[in-house]
Amino acid sequence: MPSVESGGILLIAATTENPSFAVIAPLLSRSLLVRLEPLSRDAISDLIRKAIVEPRGLGSKVEIDDAALNRIVEVSGGDARRALTVLEAAASRVLELSTSSPAVIGLEDVGASLESALVRYDRDGDQHYDTISAFIKSVRGSDADAAIHYLARMLEGGEDPRFIARRLILLAAEDIGLADPTALSIAVAAHESVALIGMPEGRIPLAEATVYLALAPKSNSAYLAINQAIADVKNGFAPTIPASLRSNYLSKGGTEQAYRYPHDDPNSVVSQVYVEGVPEYFTPKSSGFEKGLVDRWPALKRIIRGNGA
């Protein structure tokens, strides 16, 4: 580090990981970060053609038809290494099976060369975080097709299905919440199912939960409520618990405090102070099951607060 800082060493480095996580902060702060973007389709296509004729490459031992070339460009995702890996696998296949010279790589050869190991997914790198992020946002956005696609990419890439199931549980509580309380039970059931039956059958309950959550009505009202309440507590909002609500609600003088038992009321709700000066945390949304709370919660507050809400 001192040599880098003094300029004694000119450090040029590359990483496929997110430098914010993979590079220590002191080094990152002293570096000029240059982001390399995926290559264009034309650049990948040119690279493949050069690799075919280059003596250090395939040396013109093979040719490739347009459909096969376009398929490699498509699956490469702008990654030159991935494109060359597929090309090499397809070339090895046709050189082994073909009797013509030069051998011609066709669409079928490319398809046969695409193994699950080639799925661009790194469980410990950016692809891990990017794909689960895209999966969650697709479910949150109610796109069942996109969510199933990302689920398949994670499973084929070797992601731990229990990790996916745990994220579905969190998503059900955070993004669906009271709009469909059943969603949380379905997510938990999917997690338990994966633990019981394992893979590859575990993909089925994961897919079921994914589609259900994607198509369920959405609400984050409970998520917002608890976040605001925690923020207030951290900022010092912690009024004294009313004597009538304490576990031992007899005062030191032996006088029983006026706790009102809600079930003694025909509507099971009474006027009573539960938190002195409590802010309004929960605001129901007009979505799914929660729509029924839009009128109910204000009506309950009017009774609880003594018509003061």
The mean pLDDT of 97-124, rounded to a whole number, is 72
CATH 1.20.272.10, the chain: domain bounds: 126-215
The answer to whether residues 76 and 82 touch, using CB atoms and an 8 Å cutoff, is yes
306: left (phi over 0), alpha (psi -120 to 50) or beta: left
The answer to whether residues 187 and 209 touch, using CB atoms and an 8 Å cutoff, is yes
pLDDT of residue 122: 58
Q: Is the pTM of this model over 0.85?
A: no
d(CA 59, CA 46): 15
The answer to whether residues 118 and 82 touch, using CB atoms and an 8 Å cutoff, is yes
pLDDT digits (tens, 9 = 90+) for 244-289: 888 765 555 555 567 888 998 888 988 888 898 899 999 999 989 9
Fold category of 41-116 in CATH: Helicase, Ruva Protein; domain 3 (1.10.8)
The answer to whether residues 123 and 157 touch, using CB atoms and an 8 Å cutoff, is yes
Question: What 3-state class would DSSP assign to 54?
Answer: coil
**What count of residues does the chain have?**
309
Query: How distant is the alpha carbon of residue 34 from its chain centre?
Result: 26
CATH 1.10.8.60, the chain: domain bounds: 41-116
Chain mean pLDDT for the chain: 86
pLDDT digits (tens, 9 = 90+) for 162-192: 999 999 999 999 999 999 999 999 999 999 9
Q: Answer positive or negative: Cα dihedral of 304, 305, 308, 309.
A: negative
Residues with Cβ within 8 Å of 133's Cβ and at least 6 positions away in sequence, in order, are none
pLDDT digits (tens, 9 = 90+) for 197-226: 988 899 999 999 999 999 999 999 999 999
d(CA 86, CA 47): 13
Long-range contacts of 235-238 (CB under 8 A, 24+ apart): 237/279
Residues with Cβ within 8 Å of 279's Cβ and at least 6 positions away in sequence, in order, are 228, 232, 237
Which class in CATH covers the domain with range 126-215?
mainly alpha
